Amino acid sequence: MKLRYFSSLVALALVIVTPVSARAGTGYLGNGDFEGGTLKPWDWFAAGGAKATGALDTQEKHSGEFSFRIHNESPLEPNVYGQLRQYAYTLKANTTYVITAWVKGNDVSGAQLALGPGWKIIERLPSDTFDWTEVRKEFTTGDSTEKYDIVFLSSSTTEALWIDDVQIEEVGDTSASASESSH
């Protein structure tokens, strides 16, 4: 009886202390599938007075119970956008990764995925109206990866853009392949 009670307590403690980022399928991101029922560790922000909103959605989802929905009433203007952002803190320097996300849209315009410091790596998301579509972008980190931006941007009028099942996976270490090729 005592052993069964102790085993149950250990199992419960593991469930309680296991972070959202440790769930299968999200790779280097926390809550990439939005199944935590909360936005954290993602952040939503409307910049430059954008009339943009973002929230978890239970009606449209690629898998599970939740996706994230963006609605933007602002026409295209410099520095006016809505953003869903998370920092990836555990990426390795000089390493190639692939980020994948499933997106669905209704009258989407000006949406993109921006990566890294200064958002220099850009992948335009589909526009107009479309069913669930996988977006993939391969990227290589630089020498420093302390705080690597992962940002979904809506910079123009969009009735609805749903995002789900975002994950990052390592493709290979570029410094290792460079040193191997020099020998």
pLDDT of residue 51: 98
pLDDT above 70: percentage of residues in the chain: 79
pLDDT digits (tens, 9 = 90+) for 48-73: 999 999 999 999 999 999 999 999 99
The residue with greater pLDDT, 166 or 182, is 166
- Give CA–CA dist 85/113, Å, rounded: 10
- The helix or strand, by DSSP H or E, that contains position 17, with its residue range, turns out to be helix 2-17
Is the distance from CB of 69 to CB of 161 less than 8 angstroms?
Answer: yes
CATH number of the domain within which 49 lies:
2.60.120.260
Strands (E), the chain: 43-47, 52-57, 67-72, 81-88, 95-108, 111-115, 121-124, 128-140, 148-154, 158-173
Stated pTM of the model: 0.80
In a domain, 54, yes or no: yes
In a domain, 18, yes or no: no
Q: Quickly list DSSP for 151-178.
A: EEEE-S-EEEEEEEEEEEEEEEEHHHHH
**Parallel, antiparallel or unpaired: strands 52-57 and 81-88:** unpaired
pLDDT digits (tens, 9 = 90+) for 88-141: 988 999 999 999 999 999 999 999 999 999 999 999 999 999 999 999 999 999
- Give CA–CA dist 25/107, Å, rounded: 29
In a domain, 131, yes or no: yes
pLDDT digits (tens, 9 = 90+) for 151-161: 999 999 999 99
Specify the amino acid at residue 124. R
In a domain, 133, yes or no: yes
In a domain, 181, yes or no: no
Per-residue pLDDT band at 7 (split at 50, 70, 90): very low
In a domain, 6, yes or no: no
Domain of 129, in residue numbers: 23-176
Domain count, the chain: 1
Output the CA torsion sign for 92, 95, 101, 107. positive
In a domain, 161, yes or no: yes
Is pLDDT at 18 greater than 70 in this prediction? Answer: no
In a domain, 58, yes or no: yes
